[in-house]
Amino acid sequence: MPEANDELFKQFINREITAMEIFLSSKASKAAITLEEYIQTRLVLGASEETIEADLIKDLEEGGRIFGEFRSSVRATANGIINRTRDSAVFSEIGIDTQYRWVAVLVNTCPDCIERHNRVQTWDKWEEEGLPRTGQTVCKENCRCVLLPKDTLEIEPIRREKR
């Protein structure tokens, strides 16, 4: 049976993925300022260099409001890279308010993913709960689920037949 599962997974990958990509994105905004401008502005407003440095380093390490997206982009992903990068690419094109559906392959799916399957919420909410392959589900990095924009497509459960 594992071979059959692998075959299904390969088919799933081939259908869903056309390119291997590592997607690195920063926060999308036309009003974005450079790091230099940010530091200059804070200095002008009276903040000390030590405070600015401490704030920025803390934000960078914790993935806060300033560096959150940078931090997520460069976070080590190891096994889960293929689907996660595709998720990010779709996310960047469609935007932050889009609703995403958790789609499990439904073959040897772990209880956490079964529970999430077909649930819909924003990317932010999924990030809070844990994206696929980020270790938040029982299956950890072996997770084969993907997040798809709610209206993109419906995936029928894969039916296994007795041979």
Partner 1 sequence: MIKAEVKGSIKFPPLALKKDLQFVAERIIVPILQSNIEKQIALDERPLKPNDPKYTERKIKKGLRPEILIATGKLRRDFFVADAGPYAVKVRIHPERSKIGVYLMDMGKNFFGVSTRMEENAMTYMKKRIREILLNARS
Under the rule (CB under 8 A), what is the footprint of partner 1?
6, 9-10, 13-14, 17-29, 31-36, 38-43, 45-47, 49, 52-53, 56-57, 60-61, 66-67, 69-70, 73-82, 89, 92
Closer to partner 1 at the Cβ: 15 or 162? Answer: 15
Q: Which amino acid is at 39?
A: I
- Tell me the residue length of the chain: 163
Query: Whose CA is closest to 123, among 133, 132, 114?
Result: 132
The partner residues of 122 in beta bridges, in order of sequence, read 99
Closer to partner 1 at the Cβ: 120 or 140? Answer: 140
Closer to partner 1 at the Cβ: 61 or 151? Answer: 61
In angstroms, the Cα distances linking 100 to 22, 117, 162 are 20, 11, 33
Least separation in angstroms between residue 108's CB and partner 1 is 16
